[in-house]
Amino acid sequence: MIFTHFFAIISLVTASVALPAAVPGIITVPLDRVDSTSDLKNAGSFAARAANRYISRSVETRSTLPSKLMPRQVASKEEGFASIFRRQKGDDGINTAKNVNITVLQGGALRMRIDVGTPPRPYGVALDSSSADLWLASPDCKTCVGYEPYVASKSSTGKVSDKKFVVAYNEGSLRVDVTGVTDDLIFGGFPIKQQPFAQADKIPKGFQDVPFDGVLGLAFSAHSEQKAPPLLQSLVDQKVIKSASFALHIPAGKKQATMTIGGIDPTKFSGEIDFVPVDNAAGQWGLNIDQIVAQGKAVDVGTKKGILDTGTSVLLGPMEDVRKVFAAIPGSAEMANGTFTVPCNQDNSFALKLGGKDYGLNGVDFLDEIFSVAGPNNANCVAALSGDQKIKSWVIGTPFLQKFYTVWDLSVPRFGLAKKVE
């Protein structure tokens, strides 16, 4: 999670929906896994774990645990669903849904290509559902080493404003100084005219030496420092697509993922899509969690608020609540800075109950993708769930999101989950 504002959540109701017929004309765009040469210490801390969506990390263990971390080998209602399906089909010249390949960075962060300006120039941007602003590097940004700069003067449609502001992440600990701009861009093959976004004049160390050229926020306009419409909403407003929605298919352990823009791809999931309402009052993808479940039993936690975050490589929760989760898992142990281990050969399970239904991570799905702990007989693995004293909501990151086919509908708003087809 880069950006962390917390808010009140409304109750959720699940809607189960039947699988529709295949949609013609869907285009696939790939995403690849990219490694970074950077190294962060103490990755169990909240800020570090958030930054580790993009950066390789090492974790220091407590002296009482004589183990070291090592790279781990991968051992609705029918009408509700039909509304998305209808919106992506039309005969009025408005485009149907389109698949876009996206890159899965080490640790689970997602990167996709957008093209900006006239003539268009390509940029790789990190997808972040917990923020709402798009920014690229300014040519005058001295800290933006390795970034492909956006140069408005080289675009016949680019305009730089006199508005300067700050895009803040990690509760303000990471601050990007930016200037407002507008330009034409292409998002997943769809053109957008005069989209407001920003160019970075100065970025913090946490954003340096990373494998992308900027950040594309996927949250709602209320969460935008610029109060700019989301790219999906701009596509709807300009009558390019019908549905302000996208879907994510993230195969576990693979470099290529898929974002479907403007609808769904029935070839990527099986069975039904279950929808739960989203509370976007603060502009984020907020959920109410009915129950936290560990080893098949409900855990009595202090908070059941959740935030969906494509940018976080782990699951995060309030420290005391996370400790209660691991107390229910036999053989678990707490390490430094909120990181926990579990027996590698045990059928560990963790689930979120949403809309009355459990969505679980079992076995290897509940283990960190990057590290294992080499203890006695290499028996302990780092869990995909960490705790932090600073946060007050559950952060639902890529270990959960890659387990399912997910549908993000800004117009209702609502969030859908289905069984993923690998």
Q: pLDDT value at position 183?
A: 99
Q: pLDDT value at position 253?
A: 73
Same domain flag for 346 and 212: no
Domain span at 202: 33-39+107-241
In a domain, 81, yes or no: no
Q: Which amino acid is at 73?
A: Q
Catalytically active residues, by annotation: 128, 309
In a domain, 5, yes or no: no
Q: pLDDT value at position 36?
A: 37
In a domain, 12, yes or no: no
In a domain, 96, yes or no: no
Q: 295: pLDDT confidence band, cut at 50, 70 and 90? A: very high
Same domain flag for 276 and 359: yes
Residues in contact with 130: Cβ distance below 8 Å, sequence separation at least 6, in sequence order = 1, 2, 3, 4, 217, 219, 284, 285, 307, 308, 309, 310, 311, 312, 395
Q: pLDDT value at position 56?
A: 34
Same domain flag for 294 and 223: no
Which CATH number fits the domain that encloses residue 362? Answer: 2.40.70.10
- Backbone dihedral angles phi then psi of residue 319, each to the nearest 5 degrees: -55, -50
Q: Last residue of some domain: 207, 241, 275?
A: 241
**DSSP bridge partners of 245:** 409
In a domain, 409, yes or no: yes
In a domain, 4, yes or no: no
- Tally of domains in the chain: 2
Q: Tens digit of pLDDT for each residue in 140-151?
A: 999 999 999 999
Same domain flag for 116 and 194: yes
Q: pLDDT value at position 42?
A: 32
Its pTM stands at: 0.82
Q: 172: pLDDT confidence band, cut at 50, 70 and 90? A: confident
Sign of CA dihedral 399, 400, 404, 405: negative
In a domain, 210, yes or no: yes
In a domain, 84, yes or no: no
Q: How far is CA 53 from the centre of its chain?
A: 9
Same domain flag for 292 and 413: yes
Same domain flag for 332 and 300: yes
Mean per-residue pLDDT over the chain, rounded: 81
For the ranges 11-25, 43-57, 381-395, the lowest mean pLDDT is seen at 11-25
Cβ proximity of 299 and 328 under 8 Å = yes
Same domain flag for 285 and 159: no
How far lies 103's CA from each of 248, 311, 345, 367, 418, in Å? 12, 12, 30, 21, 22
Same domain flag for 230 and 358: no
Q: Which amino acid is at 279?
A: D
Rg (CA), the chain: 21
Same domain flag for 276 and 383: yes
Q: pLDDT value at position 322?
A: 98
Same domain flag for 355 and 215: no
pLDDT at 374 over 80: no
Same domain flag for 334 and 390: yes
Same domain flag for 297 and 232: no
